[in-house]
Amino acid sequence: MTKKGGLGRGLSSLLEEKVETGTGKVHELSVLDIEPNPKQPRKNFDQEALRTLADSISEVGVLSPILVRQKENGLYEIIAGERRWRASKLAGKKKIPAIVKDYETKEVMEIALIENLQREDLNPLEEAMGYQTLKEQFGLTQEDIAKRVSKSRSTVANILRILNLPDFVLKEIKNGKVSLGHAKALTSLESDELKKLLLYEIVKNEISVREAEEYAKKLSEKKRPQMIRKNLKKDPNLIEVEHQLTSKFGTKVLIKSGKIKSKIEIEYYSQEDLKRIVDQLS
- Side-chain-facing half-sphere of 114: CA atoms under 13 Å: 20
CB of 265 closer than 8 Å to CB of 277: no
Please state, in angstroms and rounded to a whole number, the distance separating the CA atoms of residues 108 and 116: 12
- Closest alpha carbon to 125 in 82, 83, 79, 166: 166
Please state, in angstroms and rounded to a whole number, the distance separating the CA atoms of residues 200 and 179: 14
Dihedral of CA atoms 10, 12, 14, 16 in degrees, nearest 10, equals: -140
- Which residues are within 8 A (CB) of 76 and not within 5 positions of it... i.e. 6 or more apart? 29, 33, 34, 35, 68, 69, 70, 98, 100
Q: Is 172 a catalytic residue?
A: no
Cα angle: 118, vertex 147, 143; to 5 degrees: 120
Going by the DSSP 8-state scheme, the letter that residue 31 receives in this structure is G
Going by the DSSP 8-state scheme, the letter that residue 198 receives in this structure is H
Q: Provide the β-strand partners of residue 256.
A: 263
- Given 82, 115, 126, 127, the catalytic residue: 82
- Cα 115 to Cα 67, 95, 118, 186, 239, distances in angstroms: 11, 22, 5, 28, 47
- Which residues are within 8 A (CB) of 35 and not within 5 positions of it... i.e. 6 or more apart? 71, 75, 76, 77, 78
- Which residues are within 8 A (CB) of 110 and not within 5 positions of it... i.e. 6 or more apart? 134, 138
Active site residues: 82
